[in-house]
Structure 1
Amino acid sequence: MTTDPWGRVDDDGTVYVRTSEGERVVGSWQAGEPEEALAFFRRKYDALVTEVELLEKRLRSTDLSASSAMSSIDKLRTAVREAGAVGDLDSLMARLDVLADRAEERKVEQKQAQENAREQARETKERIVAEAERVAVETTHWKSGGERMLQLIEEWKKAPRADRPTEQALWKRMSAARNSFSKRRKAYFAGLDQEREEVRAVKERIVAEAEALSGSEDWGPTARAYRDLMQQWKRTGRADRASEDKLWARFKAAQDRFFDARNAVFAERDAELRVNAEAKEKILAEAQAEIPAISDPRRARARLRDYQEAWEAAGELPRDVRDQLEGAFRRIEDDVRRAEDAEWKRTSPEARARAKDTVDQLASAISGLEAKLEKARAAGDTKRAKEAEEALDARRAWLAEAEKALDEMS
C-alpha cells in the first residue's frame, strides 16, 4: 500500500483521499504504479487549487458581481466536495468559505452602490424634469425653448435609470411638461397668426390709400399724406413675411411714382429759378460787404430795407440753395436788429435815469461810509474802521463802473 499525507492507494488499486470527515474513495488505478496514481490525483487537486486562486484574484481585483461570485463558489464547493483528487481539500473548502464571506460583503457594497447610483439617477432626472417644467411655464422664446426641450429629452435618455416607480413618476412629469410647452407654443402662434392677419388687413388699406394718391399733383398735401401713411405703416406692426414683402413693394411703388413725378416738376422749376439764385447771390454779397461797415444803426436799417426790397423782387429760389442763401440773408437782418436794440438801450431816457439813480445811490452810500470810518478812527475802533474801509473800496469800484456806463449814454 502506498500513502500520501492526504491520501493513499490500496493494494487493489483503490485510491482514497483523507478529509476531516474521514477517508473516501476518489478513484481506482490499475494501469501503473501506485506513485503514478497519487501523482495523477494530485494534479487534479492542483487544478482545483488553480480554479480557487483564479476566483480569489477575480474577486480581489475586478468588479465581479456578488451573484456571479457566489455562483462560482457554489460550483467549486460541489467540485471540491465530489472531487476525484488527492490533496488538502479541507483547506480549499476553507478558502471558499472566506471567498463566500467576501462575496457577501461585495453583495452589500454593490447593493449600496446600486442604491447610490439610483439616487444619483433620481437627482439627475429630477433636475432634468424641473428644468423642463420651467421651460414649459416660463419660456416665450419658442425656437430656443423647443431646442432646449429636445436637449432635455436626450439628456433623459442618456441618464442612468432610477428605480421603476421613480422612473415612471418622473417621466409622467417630463411628458406633461413637454405637452404643456407644445400647447403654449401652438396657442401663441395661433394668436400670432390672427394678429398678423389683422395687421395684413390694415396694411392693405394703407396700400390702397397710397396707390390712390400716386397720381396726385397736389404736391405739398400729398407728400404730408404719404408721411402720415408711413407712420401708420410703422405703428401697425408686421404681417406674415410673404404678405409683408408684397404689400411693402406695392406701397413703395406707389410712393415712388408720386415722388418721382414731383421731383421731375421741381427739377424743371428749379432750373427756371436758377437765374433768381444768381441775382440773390449778388445782392447777398453786396449786403454782406456794405451793411456791417455802417456804424449808425438807423442808416444800416434804411440800407437793409433797400436790400430786402431787391431780395423780394429777385423772386423764388431753387430748393438746393434756398436754405443756404435765405439763412445768410437772415443773419444780416439779425445783426442789424441787434445793433438797433443795443442803440436803443444806450439812448433810452429810462435807462439813463436808472444809471443816474445808481450813481447817486452809490455816492450817498460812500459819504455815509466815510463818516463811519472817521468816527471809528476817532474812537480807536480798529475793527469797525477796517470794515468801513473794505466797504468803501467796494462801493468806490462800483461807482466808477456806474459813472462809466452813464458817460456812455450821454
Structure 2
Amino acid sequence: MSEQDSTPQAVAETAPVESAAEGGVEETPKETAAQATPPAVPVASDHPERWGRVDADGTVYVKTEDGERAVGSWQAGEPVEGLAHFARRFDDLRTEVELLVSRLQSGAGDPKHALTSAKHVKEQLAEAAVVGDLKALAARVEHVLEQAEAGMEKAKEAKEAARAQSVARKQALVEEAESIANESTQWKVAGDRLRAILDEWKTIRGVDRKTDEQLWRRFSKARDAFNRRRGSHFADLDRQRSVAKASKQALVEEAEKLVDSDDWGATAGRYKELMVEWKAAGRAPKEADDALWQRFRAAQDAFFQKRSEAFSERDAEFTANAKLKEELLAEAEAIDPSGDLETARQQLYKIQERWDAIGKVPRERIRELEGRLRTIEERVRGAVDAQWRRSDPEAEARVAQFRERVEQFEAQAAKARAAGDKRRTEQAEAQAAQWREWLAAAEQALATR
C-alpha cells in the first residue's frame, strides 16, 4: 500500500533525539518560561523511524512516554512503506493543529471552534493510529486549548464591552428621545431626529433581550408622547386656522362690497382698518389663506385704482377751475368803484356768482385765489363806505336792498344745508355775512344822517 505524501515541511527544526538503541524515546526540548508557545511539532514523514517501527509480522508501533503502542498492521509492502504511511497520518493531525495555532495567532480563527477542534484532536491522540512525536503534538494541542480558552475569555470580555457600549448608546438615544418628547417644539426637526434615532437604534446589536426591551419601551413611550403632543399642537393650530379663515372670509366680503364706494376718505380709512384686522386674524390654511389674500388685495387695488382715477380727473377739473377763476379775477380787478359805484357792485356780485359756480380749485391755490378776490371785495366795500359817508339820498332803498340780499343768501345757505352741500352752504353764509356788513353800514349811515 502506498500513499501520496502531501504533508508540509516542518515549521521549525527539532532538537536532537536519544538513540533508539539506548531504549529512550526521542524528546522535544522543554519549553522555557519565556517562550509563549511550545516548540513546533517535527514532521514525522521526514524520519518516521524515529517515532515508530514495524516488526517482522507487520505490526506497526509508535513510541510513547509509556513505551510502544501498536497502531496498526502493514502487510501490503515493505515495512518502511508502512511506517511512512502512518507517519503521514500523523502529519495530517499535525497540520490540523498547526492550522489552529496559526489562525489563533493571526486572530482570524474562532476561539470556540478552535477549542472544539483541539479537544477532538486530544481525544484522538490516545488511540490515534499514527506514527510521530505524540508528546510534542499533545503539548501543541494543550497550547491550542489554552490559547482558545484565553481567546474565548477575551472574546467574552470584548463582547461584554461591546454590549455595555451598545447599552450606553441606546440609553443615550432613549434619553435624547425623552428630552425631545418633553421639550421640543421644533416639530419637523424633532420628528426627523426621532426617525434618525430609530434608524440608528436598528443598527445597534449585542444588547441582551431584557435590557433591550426595557430601553425600547422607554423609547417607544417617548416617541408616542411626542406624537401626541405634536398632534395636539396641530389640532389646536387647525382650529385657530379655521377661525382665521372664517374671519378673513368676512373681511374679504366687506372689502369686495366697498369697491364701488365713492366716499373716498371714509372708505380708504376702512380699508386700512381691514388690513389691521387681517394681520390680527392669524394664518388660515395655506391654500385658503393665499386665495383669500388674492381676493382681498384685488378688491383693495380696484378701489384705490378707482380713487386714483377719480382724483386724477378731479385734479384736472380743479386745475381748469383755477384757470377760470384767474380769468374772473382779471375781470374783477378791472372794476372801478370810483365811478359808478352801483355798476361796480353789480359787476362784483355777478363775478361772485360765477366764482361760486366754477367750483373747487387745487388745495394749494385756494389761499392765493381767495385772497385776491377778497382784496377786490374790500376795495369795492371801501368805496361804498366812503360814498355813504359823503351822501346817501337813497339810503333807505339801499338798506331795504341790502336786507333783501342778506335774506336771499341766508335762504340759499339754509337750502344748501338741508341738501347736505357743505361747500355751497359755506359760500352762501360767507356772502350773507358780507351783505350783512353792508346792511349794518347802511343802517348806521341812515341813522346818523
% identical aligned pairs: 46
Find the counterpart in structure 1 of residue 111 from structure 2: 66
1:160 lines up with 2:205 in the alignment: yes
Counterpart selection for 1:20 from 62, 65, 68: 65
Shift of 1:75: 1.8
| Larger deviation, residues 49-58 vs 156-165 | 156-165
Q: Which moved more, 1:215-224 or 1:252-261?
A: 252-261
Does residue 125 (structure 1) correspond to residue 170 (structure 2)? The answer is yes
The answer for the alignment partner of 2:137 in structure 1 is: 92
Q: Relative to structure 1, is the Cα distance of residues 101 and 262 closer, same or farther in structure 2, using a 3 angstrom cutoff? A: same
Partners of 1:74 and 1:85 lie apart in 2 by 17
Distance 1:316-1:24 versus aligned 2 partners, 3 A rule: same
Rounded to whole Å, the distance in 2 between the matches of 1:249 and 1:104 is 80
1:83 aligns with 2:128: yes
| Distance (Å, rounded) in 1 between the aligned partners of 2:58 and 2:91 | 21
Contact 2:159 2:206 in 1 (8 A): no
Of 259, 274, 277, the residue aligned with 1:229 is: 274
**Letter of the structure 1 residue corresponding to residue 82 of structure 2:** A
Residue 180 of structure 1 corresponds to: 225
Distance in structure 2 (CA, Å) of the matches to 1:87 and 1:254: 108
Q: Paired residue for 1:40, among 85, 91, 100?
A: 85
1:123-272 alignment to 2 at 5 Å? 123-272=168-317
* Amino acid paired to 1:258: F
Which secondary structure state, in structure 1, belongs to the residue aligned with residue 69 of structure 2?
Answer: strand
- Displacement of 1:7 after TM fit? 1.7
**Offset at 1:110?**
1.1
Indicate conservation of the 8 Å contact 1:200/1:243, yes or no. Answer: yes
Q: Is the 8 A contact 2:319 2:361 kept in 1?
A: no
The unaligned stretches of length 5 or more in structure 2 are 1-20, 22-47, 326-357, 369-449
Shift of 1:186: 0.8
* Whole-Å separation in 2 of the counterparts to 1:50 and 1:253: 93
Alignment check: 8 A CA contact 1:161 1:167 kept = no
By how many angstroms is 1:167 displaced?
A: 0.8
Q: Name the CA distance, whole Å, in 1 between partners of 2:149 and 2:77.
A: 45
Q: Give the corresponding residue for 1:116.
A: 161
Pair 83,246 (structure 1): closer, same or farther in 2 beyond 3 Å:
same
- Displacement, 1:275? 4.8
1:101, distance to aligned residue in structure 2 (A): 1.2
Aligned residue identity for 2:71: V
TM-score by length of 2: 0.60
5 Å-filtered alignment, 1:247-396, equals: 247-275=292-320, 316-317=361-362
Q: 1:7 maps to which residue?
A: 52
Contact 2:54 2:79 in 1 (8 A): yes
Q: Answer yes or no: is the 8 Å Cα contact 1:19–1:90 preserved in 2.
A: yes
Q: Distance in 1 between matches of 2:285 and 2:139?
A: 84
CA deviation after TM superposition for structure 1 residue 314, in Å: 11
Instruction: Please tell me the residue identity of whatever aligns with 1:203.
Output: K
| Equivalent AA in structure 2 for residue 113 of structure 1 | A
In the aligned structure 2, how far is the partner of 1:180 from the partner of 1:164?
24
**Is 212-221 or 72-81 further displaced after alignment?**
72-81
1:29, CA displacement in angstroms?
Answer: 0.9
Per the normalisation by structure 1, the TM-score is: 0.66
Take 1:217 and 1:195, find their aligned partners in 2: how far apart are those partners? 36
Q: 1: CA distance between counterparts of 2:141 and 2:122?
A: 7
Give the structure 1 partner of residue 440 of structure 2. none
Task: Specify the code of the residue in structure 2 equivalent to 1:262.
Answer: R
| C-alpha distance after superposition, 1:353-389 (max 9, x if no partner) | xxxxxxxxxxxxxxxxxxxxxxxxxxxxxxxxxxxxx
Contact 1:15–1:26 (Cα < 8 Å) also in 2: yes
2:294 alignment partner AA: A
Mapped to 2, the partners of 1:158 and 1:27 lie a distance apart of 57
User: What SS is found at the alignment partner of 1:273?
Assistant: helix
Match of 1:84, SS state, is coil
Contact 1:207 1:247 in 2 (8 A): yes
The amino acid that maps onto 2:113 is S
Task: State the 1:158 CA deviation.
Answer: 1.3
CA-to-aligned-CA distance 1:231-282 (integer Å, 9 cap, x gap): 11011111111221222222222223322221221111112233578899xx
| Bigger shift: residues 133-142 or 250-259 | 250-259
- Mapped contact 2:60–2:71 kept (Cα < 8 A): yes
- Whether contact under 8 Å (1:16, 1:86) holds in the other structure is yes
Distance in 2 of aligned mates of 1:277 and 1:4: 143
Secondary structure of 1:150's match?
A: helix
CA contact (8 A) 1:48 1:80 kept: no
**How far did residue 71 of structure 1 move?**
0.7
CA contact (8 A) 2:100 2:109 kept: no
Instruction: Provide structure 1 residue ranges, at least 5 long, that are not aligned to the other structure.
Output: 281-312, 330-410
Deviation, structure 1 residue 19: 1.4
RMSD: 2.6
State the Cα distance separating 1:196 from its structure 2 match.
0.6
Distance 1:72 1:118 in 2: 28
Whole-angstrom distance in 2 between the partners of 1:211 and 1:55: 92
Partner-residue secondary structure (3-state), 2:260: coil
CA deviation map 1:150-195 (0-9, x unaligned): 1110011112331222111111111111111111111111111111
- Larger Rg computed on CA atoms: 2
